[in-house]
Amino acid sequence: MMDHSENTLRAAIKCLQETVTPAVDPDEPQANEQLRLTIDFLEFLRTRLYDLHARHRYELGHQIEVARALTGDAKLVSDRAAAELDSALLAAVAALDDAGIHTDGLRTASQWLWCSVRGLVREARQAPDEVRERIGLAVVQGIEPLVEMESAWYLPFEFEPDPASVPALDDLLLRTPGTAS
């Protein structure tokens, strides 16, 4: 059966533009602004709809790299932080390796893994300076590809000060760590 999601979004956008917009009182600026924002978001969603799963794989792959970089120092912070990071990391790797995983499964693994990284960062505040500095550096270095992807993902909203410096989203999504590409 054919997926009609994109066409359905196009129809919803057209309905809002051609039927609802003219019916909204022009003297209601908030209603008009909210309608315009809703239309813009639906159009954005339509353009990203089929990239959502790849985006979550990309994020999880890079989060796994950050977590792997932290495992040695996690043991120096606390047994609890190390165990939590290890458990979340194992689940994240299994999720990324599962070709049939649903997008929600990727999101769940990502949330758990990133929660364990945040917990480690918080606990590391009490760690020796050199451990805390290594953890901070690993997180900052590891987050760069995630920031780059976010910039590419939201490029259509024109918030980027230098759009020409942002890599193409398709190119980024092909470079998910742990994949054959």
What is the full per-residue pLDDT of the chain (181 aa) written as tens digits?
Answer: 788 899 999 999 999 999 999 999 999 999 999 999 999 999 999 999 999 999 999 999 999 999 999 999 999 999 999 999 999 999 999 999 999 999 999 999 999 999 999 999 999 999 999 999 999 999 999 999 999 999 999 999 889 999 999 999 999 998 878 654 4
Q: How far apart are CA 177 and CA 70, in angstroms?
A: 16
Q: How far is CA 174 from the centre of its chain?
A: 15
**What is the pTM assigned to this prediction?**
0.87
| Residue in the structure block whose two tokens are 């805390």 | 132
- Looking at residue 178, what is its pLDDT? 63
DSSP 102: -
| Residue pair 64/113 in contact by the 8 Å Cβ criterion | yes
